[in-house]
Structure 1
């Protein structure tokens, strides 16, 4: 009888731990994922640009409330809507796209409030320099896509960085601020 109870307890523990391991992998949907940044221009207006080429994955375990996101941005795809400004952003004075063709965020610390992701912390790499950052979720949801017939999870996230920590110093001497707001809208499709 004791062997039977031990076997039953071991089976229950195994099934329980297997039920908790529900990590799902999601591929970032580039048509619903945007990474933009904005910086004040002498306090008169705000310069904004986005990266048109991006790729990545999200791993999410809603039960364990853990996850990992990897998002890679192609620097030469920066798009402000003004071609000469795009070239300047890609130049060695700012992002140096030739030497540093990508920027990357790897986040592995998810904070939840109930079933909702409220922030993701990790490392952001720009121009070969890596700094810790936390993206706060302004909203987050998962839904069954009527077109894809699969689950999609996503949110609207933001953070503010000191760009000089990444070696992006252009214009500081002219009075451009060091702080840059980054907004990332991400949707990812369950694989």
Structure 2
């Protein structure tokens, strides 16, 4: 009888712990998600581009302030608005899209200030190398989408990376900067 009581107590505590975890899964909305970059062009103007094809998911537990993000970019979908520049960026001088068709960001560390998300840190895999990246949240919110009738969470995130950490060295000797500003606007739909 004591064994049955202990087993029942363990099962109840396990169920209570599982019920406490409120992890919600969201799928990245590609029509409201863009990863763009900015780089200074020989100290004059700023070149900008973005990746048109992306997919991923977010798992978020607002109560425990934990989560996980997976975002995959199709490197051949780079779009600067100029076809010749896109082809150069897709070449082995930069993203080598033929050999490395995707880049991936995976994060599992979220920092909050109260209920406000302030940072997401994870790993960016690009050109066969993986390095840590810290994204600062400049905006974050969840809302009930009036068209979808579902919760949507999203925000704006940014960071600056050094491209040579991933072996993207072309043009450094010509004065093309190593520093690349990444700007990520993301919205994800509750599943």
- Give the C-alpha shift of residue 115 in structure 1: 1.7
Tell me, in whole angstroms, the C-alpha distance in 2 between the residues paired with 1:171 and 1:156: 29
Tell me, in whole angstroms, the C-alpha distance in 2 between the residues paired with 1:93 and 1:8: 62
Partner SS, residue 135 of structure 1: strand
Runs of 4+ in 1 over 6 A off after TM superposition: 6-12
> How big is the alpha-carbon RMSD for the aligned residues of Structure 1 and Structure 2?
1.8
The equivalent residue for 1:177 is 177
Q: What is the number of equivalent residue pairs in this alignment?
A: 186
Contact 1:20 1:64 in 2 (8 A): no
Tell me, in whole angstroms, the C-alpha distance in 1 between the residues paired with 2:164 and 2:120: 22
TM-score, normalised to structure 1's length? 0.92
In structure 1, list runs of 5 or more residues that go unmatched: 1-5
In structure 2, list runs of 5 or more residues that go unmatched: 1-5
- Give the C-alpha shift of residue 14 in structure 1: 5.0
The equivalent residue for 1:50 is 50
Q: How does 1:1-191 map to 2 (within 5 A)?
A: 13-14=13-14, 16-191=16-191
Partner SS, residue 151 of structure 1: strand
- Give the C-alpha shift of residue 16 in structure 1: 4.7
- Give the C-alpha shift of residue 177 in structure 1: 1.2
Tell me, in whole angstroms, the C-alpha distance in 1 between the residues paired with 2:90 and 2:8: 62
Tell me, in whole angstroms, the C-alpha distance in 2 between the residues paired with 1:114 and 1:15: 28
- Give the C-alpha shift of residue 8 in structure 1: 11
TM-score, normalised to structure 2's length? 0.92
Tell me, in whole angstroms, the C-alpha distance in 2 between the residues paired with 1:113 and 1:15: 30
